[in-house]
Amino acid sequence: MAAEEQVRESLEQVIVPGVMRSLNGLNLVRQVTTSDQEVKITLASSALNAETQEWIRSKTKAVVEKLHEVNKVEVEFIEAKPTELTQIGHIIAVMSGKGGVGKSLVASLAAIALKRQGYEVGILDADLTGASIPKMFGIIARPTGSDTGILPVLSRSGIELMSINLLLQQEDDAVIWRGPLISNTIKQFWEDVLWGKLDYLIIDLPPGTADAPLTVLQSFPISGVIIVFTPQDLTAMIVRKAVNMAQKMDKPVLGVVENMSYLYIPEIDKRIELFGRSRGEEMAEAARAPLLGQLPLDPELAKLCDQGDIERYDSEITNSLGQSLLQAISAKV
Ligand SMILES: Nc1ncnc2c1ncn2[C@@H]1O[C@H](COP(=O)(O)OP(=O)(O)O)[C@@H](O)[C@H]1O
Ligand SMILES: [Mg+2]
């Protein structure tokens, strides 16, 4: 008879429709027992509608029946809450003192960098009124689910995404919601989304230091925050405010990222500090955290964001952002 381990491994071949991750990746396999007569597999039914469950049942049977010395396969579904199945190594929130500084961009590039390192990564777009993650990744697919939960959508490079924009009828529907509705939606993004097994979940926080980002910091077991700013931020005050908020919530600041730090002109091999002198070191000092990166204002990057092709951005800067983030996490968390 096939060993339990062998059966579990074979379930890597059963890809859940909609999200396109395996049963193992979504942590849906609850129990595997093998005896002389049969293999019995218990799966969680969370976020799977009846049709999907049937499809998974027959696919699972087909895969396991192919194993050596397996005669009979029994697949049973049990109910479980998505939060019982979600297992995330580190949740990292990206915040900024104000909007339009490139917070979503940094959240996306950080996720892309970690994914390229071979980690399983997700992005939660918690900026409900300025949701821009799906657009940058060119995602229009709608998440699927059932009464018991909702499945994230997978980006082209395999990053799990969840955003209010994926749930709205039209991408440009305005979200004019009041505080309680926003905080409930954000809580649902944690409680009802089946994230499964991830090494990192990056949260794109709403800008500023008001109620909305606070709710997120309170609702999620966050490991640490990254603070994004631009050289246009006139004082270190705006960064300090964000640092204070993180500290009040007992969340370590993993580092700061300066965006639109400079413009590089290849023809003359020169960096132009368009928005004034870089304040990277100063802000890092204010945050008592490392400067994780200084991103140039890059027309190519802006174009890729507009086209929904951010995952095609290939730059040494993204890789080094990923490296310094990993270092910061191991140093602080
Ligand atoms: N370093 C950069 N180079 C080129 N374009 C950028 C850069 N940073 C931001 N942008 C552009 O500015 C827009 C706003 O950035 P975004 O990350 O959505 O800001 P925020 O989330 O802080 O509101 C994006 O559409 C992006 O295309
Ligand atoms: Mg944004």
Cα(297)–Cα(271) distance, integer angstroms: 10
245 lines ligand 1 (CB under 6 A): no
For atom 8 of ligand 1, which residue has the closest CA?
A: 102
pLDDT category of residue 214 using cuts at 50, 70 and 90: confident
- CATH 3.30.300.130 residue window(s) in the chain: 4-80
Which of the pair, 203 or 71, is modelled with greater confidence? 203
230 lines ligand 1 (CB under 6 A): no
One-letter amino acid for residue 235 of the chain: T
103 lines ligand 1 (CB under 6 A): yes
Testing ligand 1's pocket by substitution, the residue of 95, 105, 125 carrying the most ligand atoms inside 8 A of its CB is: 105
Secondary structure class of 112 (helix, strand, coil): helix
Q: What are phi and psi of 100, to 5 degrees?
A: 75, 15
Task: Give the residue ranges of DSSP H helices in 142-236.
Answer: 164-167, 179-191, 211-219
Q: At what angle do helices 316-332 and 103-116 cross, to 10 degrees?
A: 90
To which CATH superfamily is domain 4-80 assigned? Answer: Fe-S cluster assembly (FSCA) (3.30.300.130)
Of ligand 1's listed atoms, the one at least distance from the Cα of 305 is 27
Structure tokens at 185: 């939606």
**Residues in the chain, total:** 333
Among the four given CATH numbers 3.40.50.300, 2.40.33.20, 3.40.980.10, 3.40.50.1110, the one describing domain 85-332? 3.40.50.300
Secondary structure class of 144 (helix, strand, coil): coil
Res. 333: pLDDT tops 90: no
In Å, how far are 91, 109, 178, 293 from 260, measured between CA atoms? 25, 14, 32, 11
What is the tens place of the pLDDT at every residue in 92-138? 999 998 888 999 999 999 999 999 999 999 999 999 888 899 999 99
Cα(254)–Cα(225) distance, integer angstroms: 6
264 lines ligand 1 (CB under 6 A): no
For atom 12 of ligand 1, which residue has the closest CA?
A: 102
Structure tokens at 329: 């996490």
Strands 263-265 and 15-16: unpaired
Structure tokens at 296: 């140039």
Testing ligand 1's pocket by substitution, the residue of 109, 305, 309, 321 carrying the most ligand atoms inside 8 A of its CB is: 305
Residue-level pLDDT at 130? 84
What is the tens place of the pLDDT at every residue in 291-310? 999 999 999 999 999 999 99
Secondary structure class of 286 (helix, strand, coil): helix
- CATH 3.40.50.300 residue window(s) in the chain: 85-332
Distance 27 CA to ligand 1 centre (A): 34
